[in-house]
């Protein structure tokens, strides 16, 4: 198999999501924390309710629910640090604290590297000294992870208060969660758990920007062709929309972090004859293989690049806009 394709194969469930390919040097090494250091770091957890989150019972303990709090009317547009790779700069309460964040709408939760979380004064969450472990199915590289919160994050002058992350208990990198992106180095991942609280998020790969709105509604751009696709819920996954694969209705995950066209697990093929994203029709689509047969198909950024994609979570729709074809 071509080594580039092999690197780009996605892995879900107990899998690695390595869909984003970059051949720009060796991946950063990570160093798992010792048991003693983990125990010390987790020794004083704070209750999720302190940050406005709710708790609920799960097998083996409790979990939290909630997102970061947005300031009304805030809008901003952030430039991607590398062309077509959705990584932006964010900072904490202090302007000295900055990080590179992958804005990954396909990730169901958000992540932060341990040493960065210490710089940003992240507070681990728990009840009666019992911290909240990550219980999802994404591969953390065999490293435990625990729920925490950073009290203030900023995208330019856009404020996010009490933003939750899972902290992977290793230094040096986020391991497989960084999606194979080597440059820029990934310090944090902003996933769908936080992004769904925005009025809209707009990926514009042609202009290399990501737009964010707290409460201001989106209006389609005059002069652009626009398709509207309904958001559907797929438990345990990030953003999914209505789609079809070879005329079979299926939800499809939108994956801007993935450097591929289409990945599917139901069948091993090099090309998929027909793909629909809502009413958008795509023919003869190059296809990678997901190793789990029942994983939802995933649309990567090679198919998404021609569009300005605006995710309107509160409306429950995604707009796909592009210039009309020249006559």
Q: Quick one: pLDDT at residue 177?
A: 94
Q: Quick one: pLDDT at residue 203?
A: 98
Q: Kindly give, in sequence order, each residue whose CB lies less than 8 Å from that of residue 36, ignoring residues fewer than 6 positions away.
A: none
Helices (H), strands (E): how many in the chain? Answer: 5, 26
Give the model's confidence band at 326: pLDDT under 50 very low, under 70 low, under 90 confident, else very high: low
Q: Quick one: pLDDT at residue 17?
A: 43
Residues facing residue 212 across a β-bridge: 76, 201
Q: Quick one: pLDDT at residue 27?
A: 59
Q: Quick one: pLDDT at residue 77?
A: 98
Give long-range contacts, CB 8 A cutoff, 24+ apart: 247-252: 247/274, 247/276, 250/296, 250/297, 251/296, 252/277, 252/296, 252/297, 252/298, 252/299
Instruction: Report pLDDT digits (tens) over 36-95.
Output: 999 999 999 999 999 999 999 998 889 999 999 999 999 999 999 999 999 999 999 988
**Closest alpha carbon to 146 in 63, 269, 261:** 63
What would the mean pLDDT of 154-160 be, rounded to a whole number?
96
CA–CA dist 126, 272 (Å, integer): 46
Task: Kindly tell me if the per-residue pLDDT of 13 is higher than 80.
Answer: no
Instruction: Report pLDDT digits (tens) over 258-300.
Output: 999 999 999 999 999 999 999 999 999 999 998 888 889 999 9
Instruction: Report pLDDT digits (tens) over 167-178.
Output: 999 999 999 999
Instruction: Report pLDDT digits (tens) over 297-322.
Output: 999 999 999 999 999 999 999 999 99
The fourth-level CATH superfamily of domain 19-197 is: Acid Proteases (2.40.70.10)
CA–CA dist 150, 122 (Å, integer): 5
Q: Quick one: pLDDT at residue 95?
A: 87
Structure tokens given for 2: 């071509």
Indicate whether this model's pTM tops 0.75: yes
Instruction: Report pLDDT digits (tens) over 124-142.
Output: 999 988 899 999 988 899 9
Query: For the chain, what are the domain ranges?
Result: 19-197
Structure tokens given for 77: 């547009």
C-alpha triplet 165, 169, 174: angle, nearest 5°: 70
| Locus of tokens 């793909």 | 275
Instruction: Report pLDDT digits (tens) over 184-214.
Output: 999 999 999 999 999 999 999 999 999 999 9
């Amino acid at each position: 198999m071509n080594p580039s394709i092999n690197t780009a194969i996605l892995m879900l469930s107990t899998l690695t999501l390595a869909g984003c390919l970059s051949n720009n040097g060796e991946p950063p090494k990570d160093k798992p924390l010792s048991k003693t250091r983990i125990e010390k770091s987790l020794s004083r957890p704070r209750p999720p309710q302190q940050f406005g989150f709710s708790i609920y019972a799960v097998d083996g303990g409790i979990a939290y629910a909630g997102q970061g709090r947005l300031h009304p009317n805030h809008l901003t547009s952030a430039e991607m640090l590398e062309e077509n790779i959705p990584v932006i700069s964010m900072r904490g309460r202090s302007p000295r604290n900055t990080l590179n964040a992958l804005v990954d709408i396909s990730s169901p939760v958000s992540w932060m590297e341990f040493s960065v979380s210490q710089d940003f004064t992240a507070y681990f969450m728990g009840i009666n000294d019992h911290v909240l472990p990550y219980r999802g199915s994404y591969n953390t590289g065999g490293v435990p992870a625990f729920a925490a919160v950073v009290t203030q994050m900023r995208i330019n002058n856009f404020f996010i208060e009490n933003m939750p992350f899972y902290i992977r208990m290793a230094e040096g990198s986020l391991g497989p969660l960084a999606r194979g992106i080597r440059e820029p180095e990934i310090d944090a991942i902003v996933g769908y758990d936080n992004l769904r609280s925005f009025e809209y998020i707009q990926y514009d790969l042609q202009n290399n920007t990501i737009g964010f709105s707290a409460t201001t509604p989106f209006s389609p751009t005059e002069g652009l062709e626009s398709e509207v696709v309904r958001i559907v819920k797929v438990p345990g996954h990030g953003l999914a929309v209505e789609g079809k694969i070879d005329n079979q209705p299926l939800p499809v995950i939108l994956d801007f972090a993935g450097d591929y066209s289409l990945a599917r697990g139901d069948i091993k093929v090099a090309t998929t004859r027909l793909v629909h994203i809502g009413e958008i029709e795509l023919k003869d689509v190059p296809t990678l293989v997901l190793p789990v047969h029942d994983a939802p198909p995933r649309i990567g950024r090679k198919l998404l690049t021609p569009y300005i994609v605006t995710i309107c979570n509160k409306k429950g729709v995604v707009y796909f806009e592009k210039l009309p074809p020249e006559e």
